[in-house]
């Protein structure tokens, strides 16, 4: 079995490889790799052209995983994602027909749900069981998905016409919500002069170390007081029990206990990526906003005063005493 040192080295190499293809997004790249270590899913939020799709595609190629891109549109149906029973013809005798199962694109190790918020809530919900249980149920039969199985979804926060908000139950299944900013000046100069004919990434030799890291990540030690601090951060997002005025005044609903589990495993994974033998205070505060921002729902006052959920969550993390 791989140890902390092996995983930290492999993570650093993968981050370096992805950074050579995606300029100016080092923090985002690190959090994407963290998602892989935790065997989780991630939601990438950013304007068009900031390399959301490119990042996910290069990650899948580097890990040597089967890759399927699903372009979410208003007319997409659950059948288009999951598959179903169809009439099939015998290859040897075209006159022979039978009813057989035709798997959809969900049956791939690596799913890119591009512009996920353009599909109807009914279609979006087709991913619920897949993301949580790693299986899909069709016509009363449960079918396991490949191992490993990752969903990376993208959405555009600027354009709202023709989009549908993601159901809270689905948002809660994403380990992280990564807000991808525009690149800085230096990075954009590199992007402007970048050849469009770049060679594709080859699968890395140490992919198996990263794909099997979850068990090692879970064993990373954490002090009891820091563990309780993680719980306090999550509980402080719930306006009915929070001790912080920012949560009571600006949030309608807070994060669920699943967020506590997510924040703990993400903090451990970040510690391993940084080469630390146990979870540190900075690991928790750094990754907490990405874990919590999509799990909190703002109220009317927040919208009226134009306070973003990211701003509110950042303040909650800063004001919570660990």
Q: State residue 199's pLDDT score.
A: 56
Are 286 and 234 within 8 A, CB to CB? no
Encode the chain (322 residues) as per-residue pLDDT tens digits.
568 888 989 999 999 988 888 888 889 999 999 999 999 999 999 888 888 888 888 899 898 888 899 999 999 999 999 988 887 777 777 777 778 788 899 999 999 999 999 998 888 888 999 999 999 998 888 999 998 899 999 998 776 777 888 888 889 999 999 999 888 888 888 878 776 545 567 788 888 899 889 999 999 999 999 999 999 999 999 999 998 999 999 999 999 999 999 999 999 999 999 989 899 999 999 999 999 999 999 999 998 999 999 999 999 999 997 6
Are 232 and 320 within 8 A, CB to CB? yes
Model's pTM, two decimal places? Answer: 0.90
Q: How many CB atoms lie within 10 A of CB 81?
A: 22
Would you list the domain boundaries of the chain? 1-75+109-219, 220-322
How far out from the chain centre does Cα 127 lie?
A: 13
Q: How many CB atoms lie within 10 A of CB 181?
A: 12
* Contacting residues for 192 by C-beta, under 8 A, at least 6 apart: none
CATH architecture of structural domain 220-322: Orthogonal Bundle (1.10)
CATH number for the region 1-75+109-219 comes to: 3.40.50.300
Q: State residue 67's pLDDT score.
A: 86
How far out from the chain centre does Cα 34 lie?
A: 10
State the pairing for strand pair 135-138/141-144: antiparallel
The tokens describing 322, both together, are 């660990």
- ∠ CA 195-196-197, nearest 5°, is 90
The tokens describing 187, both together, are 């990075």
Q: State residue 195's pLDDT score.
A: 60
Q: State residue 322's pLDDT score.
A: 62
Are 118 and 7 within 8 A, CB to CB? no
Q: State residue 164's pLDDT score.
A: 86
* Same topology between domain 1-75+109-219 and domain 220-322: no
Q: State residue 197's pLDDT score.
A: 46
State the pairing for strand pair 97-103/83-89: antiparallel
The tokens describing 69, both together, are 């891109």
């Amino acid at each position: 079995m791989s140890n902390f040192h092996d995983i930290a080295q492999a993570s650093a190499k993968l981050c370096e490889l992805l950074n050579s293809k995606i300029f100016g997004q080092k923090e985002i790249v690190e959090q994407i790799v963290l998602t892989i270590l935790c065997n989780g899913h991630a939601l990438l939020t950013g304007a068009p052209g900031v390399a959301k799709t490119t990042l996910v595609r290069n990650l899948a190629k580097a890990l040597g995983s089967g890759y399927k891109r699903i372009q979410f549109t208003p007319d997409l149906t659950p059948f288009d994602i999951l598959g179903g029973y169809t009439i099939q013809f015998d290859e040897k005798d075209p006159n022979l027909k039978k009813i057989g199962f035709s798997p959809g694109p969900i049956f791939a190790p690596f799913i890119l749900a591009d512009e996920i918020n353009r599909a109807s809530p009914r279609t979006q919900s087709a991913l619920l069981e897949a993301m949580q249980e790693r299986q899909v149920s069709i016509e009363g039969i449960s079918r396991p998905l490949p191992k490993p199985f990752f969903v990376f979804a993208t959405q555009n926060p600027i354009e709202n016409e023709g989009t549908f908000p993601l159901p809270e139950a689905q948002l809660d299944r994403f380990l992280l919500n990564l807000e991808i900013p525009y690149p800085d000046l230096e990075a954009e100069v590199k992007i402007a002069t970048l050849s469009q004919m770049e060679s594709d990434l080859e699968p890395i030799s140490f992919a198996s170390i990263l794909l099997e890291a979850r068990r090692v990540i879970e064993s990373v030690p954490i002090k009891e007081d820091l563990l309780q601090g993680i719980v306090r951060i999550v509980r402080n997002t719930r306006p009915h029990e929070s001790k912080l005025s920012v949560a009571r005044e600006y949030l309608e609903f807070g994060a669920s206990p699943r967020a506590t589990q997510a924040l703990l495993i993400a903090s451990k994974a970040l510690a391993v990526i940084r080469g630390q033998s146990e979870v540190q205070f900075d690991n928790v505060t750094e990754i907490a906003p990405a874990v919590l921002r999509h799990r909190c729902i703002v109220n009317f006052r927040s919208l009226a005063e134009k306070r973003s959920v990211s701003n509110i969550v950042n303040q909650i993390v800063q004001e919570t005493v660990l």
